Amino acid sequence: MTDIDPQSAALRPQSTDAAAPLLIQLEGISKVFGGVKALQDVRFDIAPGEVLCLAGENGCGKSTLIKIISGVYQPEAGGTMLFDGKPMDKLTPGLARSLGIQVIWQDLALFPEMSVAENIAFEQNLGARPRLVDYGRIRQIAGRMLDRLGVAIDLEKPVRELSIAQRQMVAICRALVADARLVFMDEPTASLSKGETDALLVIVRRLASEGIAVVFVSHRLAEVLDVCSRVTVLRDGRYVGTYPTKGMTQTRLTELMTGRNFDQSVRAADRSAAPAVLSVEGLGREGDYAEIDLVVRRGEVVGLTGRLGAGRTELALSLFGMTRPDRGTIRLGGEVTDFRSNRDAIRAGIAYVSEDRLSLGLVQPQSIADNIALPVLGKLVDALGLLSKRRKAALVDDWIRQLAVKIGAPEHAVSTLSGGNQQRIVLAKWLATEPKVLILDSPTVGVDVGARAGIFEIVHRLAEAGMAILLISDEIPEVYYNSDRILHMRDGRIIADYVPGRDDIDAIEEAVHA
């Protein structure tokens, strides 16, 4: 990695058309929290019907800017905010909503026990006087919004029973009910399959065709370049520039976001002579996967890819002892294993980094130190059987140093960390168990591009030290540039294998998404 100059000729921003009418325009926006400059002299503008990307690494100030525009935070004195050419002073969340500014956060902020119709029509009842609920009107409003998007969802179904993609549609409909003119979408595709993502992008284009401005926040750079006309880049709270996406590449955008050049070269090596650490033969579990054969060797990174629903996570859960296969064998170091629980798998030397970091990977309210030490508490007791604070502190300090985790203090809640640093804590937690096999299930979900590179540097370092790694991801570039071999899973079966460098990345993407 090398530093770059964002204002070099090849990367110089291009201003928007001065004649184009702007829906919102910000100049000189700054925000300070306790002496820390979260934003400094930031610019932002968007026109009606435009789809614009707000890009930057975690912690660059994207969320702070969104909260200023939606009235949650007040900017420092000296900046200007115009909406339809008129000043927006002392903006509040209520005033922002009345102007048509809507934010769809990554967690969607829906009510899981309420019906689809109730969630969609919720905005209609904000601030209203108490009255009897008119469920017929609620269903009518919700049905009209879904028809507007061309989406069919059961209005009576509780939101908790919907897929992530369906919940996205409910959140969009709720914004439309509030007469949205500007919609921020925060990581809307982070948990969607390729097909679901394509369907969402169709909806985004439909909103733009109706004159609604959409701000797209995503770490998936390919879809950003596909759906957006311009991209505004922030770095370390500062405005880098606004650039047309026409002619922009993922590599250039990554450079703008991070100020660094990243090595996108194939790292695949032939590990066939290395001893097998994990081997699976004829493994099957009714309804999840069937006839799985795979080998992961010492020092090897094996990529496992395929669409969501292919059975990848279900296979990983069986390898980690969370579910039991119906047939087939799992061998670890050549010996047949029969895991009855994840405790058995951990004792045998298998670690599993779940795709759901927030609820399964970490205990969010607990401290950074407690999360790292959790799987190995038995190794940290003293002669009296009590937890040794000294041993715990030494373990935590060692892994924070080894993985270069950026923290305030080990006693701080793990929820205070950025997505990339949280993922490093998950890695630290499992590496502390000294595993022979590391299963990484979508390890970069919700992690920005710079942090992703750091995580994969750790992965390669572990492989070089001899660890066997199974890397699961539906993002083909991730497995292509970080694996020695790639296995393609579909409908619960492994249907093909590829070697990066020998096989073309575009051909692999086409096969996986066919």
Please indicate, yes or no, whether residues 164 and 312 belong to a single structural domain of this protein: no
- Tokens standing for 107? 């967690």
Residue where a domain stops, chosen among 214, 230, 262: 262
| Domain shared by 13 and 94, yes or no | yes
397 Cβ neighbours under 8 A, 6+ residues apart: 410
Contact 99, 83 (CB under 8 A): yes
Query: Considering only CA atoms, which of 51, 90, 45, 86 is closest in space to residue 68?
Result: 90
Q: Are 486 and 508 in contact (CB under 8 A)?
A: yes
Rounded mean pLDDT, 356-361: 70
What is the predicted pLDDT for the residue at 125? 61
Rounded-to-integer distance, Cα 164 and Cα 158, Å? 13
pLDDT digits (tens, 9 = 90+) for 483-507: 999 999 999 999 999 999 999 988 8
| Domain final position from 179, 214, 238 | 179
pLDDT (mean) for 73-87? 94
Higher per-residue confidence, 487 vs 433: 487
pLDDT tens figures, 124-152:
665 556 566 788 888 999 999 999 988 89
Least confident window among 59-63, 171-175, 291-295, 464-468 = 59-63
12 with 92, same domain?
A: yes
In angstroms, the CA 391 to CA 379 distance is 9
| pLDDT the model gives residue 234 | 94
Residue 11 lies in a domain: yes
The amino acid occupying position 295 is V
Least confident of 49-58, 184-193, 376-385: 184-193
Tell me how far apart the alpha carbons of residues 147 and 145 are, in angstroms, rounded to a whole number. 5
The model carries a pTM of 0.66
Nearest of 295, 297, 292 to residue 310 by alpha carbon: 292
441: closest CA among 414, 475, 492?
Answer: 475
Write out the residue range of the structural domain in which residue 175 sits: 103-179
Does 189 lie in the same domain as 331?
A: no
Domain end residue (candidates: 220, 240, 262): 262
Quick one: 187 and 254 in the same domain?
yes
299 and 169: one domain?
Answer: no
Does residue 354 sit within a domain?
no
| pLDDT for residue 230 is more than 80 | yes
Tell me the two tokens of residue 448: 């920005």
Q: Residue 355: inside a domain, yes or no?
A: no
Nearest in space to 429 (alpha carbons), one of 367, 476, 488: 367
Regarding whether 365 and 341 lie in a shared domain, the answer is no
pLDDT value at residue 201: 92
Residue 487's DSSP bridge partners are 304, 497
Give tens-digit pLDDT for 405-432. Answer: 888 899 999 988 877 788 888 889 999 9
Q: Is residue 111 part of a domain?
A: yes
Q: Is residue 112 part of a domain?
A: yes
Is residue 260 scored above 80 in pLDDT?
no
296 neighbors 277 (Cβ within 8 angstroms): yes
* Residue 35 resides in a domain: yes
Cα–Cα distance, 332 to 339 (Å, whole number): 11
> What is residue 10's predicted lDDT score, i.e. its pLDDT?
36
Same domain, 487 and 406: no
Work out how many domains the chain is built from and give that number: 4
Which pLDDT score is estimated for 308? Answer: 72
Q: How confident is the model at residue 195 (pLDDT cuts 50, 70, 90)?
A: confident
Task: Note whether 226 and 238 are same-domain residues.
Answer: yes
- For the cut 60, the answer to whether the pLDDT of residue 2 exceeds it is no
Q: At what angle do helices 449-464 and 419-431 cross, to 10 degrees?
A: 20
Together in a domain, 228 and 305 = no
Give yes or no for residue 348 having a pLDDT over 50: yes
Domain-located, residue 492:
yes
Q: Which of 424, 421, 431, 267 is CA-nearest to residue 349?
A: 431
Q: In whole angstroms, give the CA distance from residue 466 to residue 122.
A: 54
Question: At 385, is the pLDDT very low, low, confident or very high (cuts 50, 70, 90)?
Answer: confident
Residue 13's pLDDT band (cuts 50, 70, 90): very low
pLDDT of residue 367: 94
Is residue 296 one of the residues assigned to a domain? yes
- Domain shared by 140 and 229, yes or no: no
Question: Cβ neighbours of residue 385 under 8 Å, at least 6 residues apart?
Answer: none
- Averaged pLDDT, 158-181: 90
Average pLDDT score over the chain: 88
Q: What is the pLDDT of residue 424?
A: 87
Say whether both 80 and 196 belong to one domain.
yes
